[in-house]
Amino acid sequence: MKWVTRARPKVDRVACPWLVKRFVDPEAEILYVPAEQVMAVAEREGAIPFDVPGVELGHHGPECSFDAILRVYRLADPALRRLALIVRGADTAARDLAPEARGLEAIAEGFRLVYGDDQHLLEHELPVYDALYAYCQALVGQGR
């Protein structure tokens, strides 16, 4: 399945593809397009839009798109729930939601500065989320 979002990803637009590829749709193809083209591309390509205003898999209240994917696809893994706090803190104004959020925000910005091509950025940044997920699994296993 194709998934489409705005170009020049930072936190949520990399965290969501990671979540989708690891837990929802391993064959997912992520398309990054200019913001004003997301819905037209979704229609034309039969793609699922995410992290854009007005879509199911977008920000709702204090929650970010990562939270929406967890909810819609009923992903209840405690480590994913812990990771969601980090992603939400890094992607929204709630920077102190998790102590790791500010670090993730800085890392995500660094990837944007290093990689001008969104697909290369995604490819190289996905392991960051593998590592954060492992970290969250350890935290949850320790009861934190």
List pLDDT tens digits, range 83-95. Answer: 999 999 999 999 9
* Range 41-66 burial, b when 16+ CB lie within 10 A, else e: bbeeeebbbbbbeebebbbeeebbbb
Distance of CA 55 to the CA centre of its chain: 15
Predicted pLDDT of residue 144: 67
Reported confidence tier of residue 141, pLDDT bands at 50, 70, 90: confident
Predicted pLDDT of residue 142: 78
Specify the pTM.
0.95
Predicted pLDDT of residue 119: 98
Predicted pLDDT of residue 143: 66
- Rounded mean pLDDT, 80-109: 97
Give the helix/strand (H/E) hosting 33.
strand 29-33
| Angstrom distance (rounded) from CA 139 to CA 64 | 22
Spell out the residues 6+ positions from residue 93 whose beta carbon is closer than 8 angstroms to its own: none
> Domain residues of the chain, as ranges?
2-141
